[in-house]
Structure 1
């Protein structure tokens, strides 16, 4: 939107229940602001102006900037699916490679590192990361571990520990900005995460 463009028409609020048209406009505006301004330039003010939605409406539906960014991230990551082939290490390797591509190549993916960093000093961002982001974003990986449990590859009691190892590996490379040179380590790391603990 340029300075000469007319401002977007304001949409009427319908209270706490989300108006689908307003929600779509806000998320589209958030994606556009993120793509143009990056994480540092992303603000509720900018999204409000671009979407033609009042800030009270946005804050009613998303309690913080972090929550809105998480929803934008989730919508963009929706196309990424975890395929089950019958081998946990191979499944994790394929999913992780696709995830790293998403983190590297999309505005939402590149924002992920900044969001994790913000959560280290902002309680609201930490709450959103821990209470909303992680439970939702780990569902696909949980499904891969669940399928491995069903096949007898790993024990159900080991899933949480393996998830922690998986997240730690991925976040180490994303937080140190090594998604390109670390890519070769994915297969070996996933074999370790998937390794049998039985004697």
Structure 2
């Protein structure tokens, strides 16, 4: 191994360690102090990192918040039981339970709040949510191909409607509602999407 390759390897390790320290610091701050106490300056101080280093990894506060959220989020897959209503119900229940039983709900609420006043954050969050809608839409597309959804349904928009229902519950602090509410919502979504 040459001296040059040794230096490159050490530098890469330092960069990854710095990234992890920033994520750890950011997670701690948002959990302890909420959005009001969260800033790039506070994260830099706690992580003992420079602000330029943080911005190299994440171009906005919203992008950093999304990175923290992704660390909290399990692999929530859209179920594919073959039954449209059950798939929607299980997806909503899994997401809402995760938000209710982990720091992820408070973090996501902070992300939505940050997007209201920061255009860069709004763009990052908008891109993230578009990916989520398309991901849900891809499962709905399978139901459409089976003939369960009407041909005229735009599955990406349908995915947005389902996800937005969950986000509204989070923002309005209505995550404690009974499962029967979610079953009713899933039933209404499914009946509206089905081929008549």
TM-score when normalising by structure 2: 0.80
Is 1:198–2:195 an aligned residue pair? yes
Which one of the candidate residues 85, 109, 119 is aligned to 1:89?
85
Q: Count residues with an aligned counterpart.
A: 184
Structure 2 unmatched runs, 5+: 1-9
Structure 1 unmatched runs, 5+: 1-11
Is 1:165–2:166 an aligned residue pair? no
- Indicate the structure with greater helix content: 2
Alignment partner, residue 74 of structure 1: 70
Is 1:134–2:134 an aligned residue pair? no
Cα–Cα, structure 1 residues 94 and 40, in superposed 2: closer, same or farther, change >3 Å? Answer: same
Cα–Cα, structure 1 residues 36 and 167, in superposed 2: closer, same or farther, change >3 Å? Answer: same
Is 1:188–2:184 an aligned residue pair? yes
How far did residue 157 of structure 1 move? 4.5
Whether contact under 8 Å (1:66, 1:115) holds in the other structure is yes
Bigger Rg over Cα: 2
Whether contact under 8 Å (2:148, 2:194) holds in the other structure is no
How far did residue 68 of structure 1 move? 0.3
Q: Report runs of 4+ in structure 1 exceeding 6 Å deviation.
A: none
Which one of the candidate residues 57, 66, 69 is aligned to 2:53?
57
SS of 1:31's equivalent in the other structure is helix
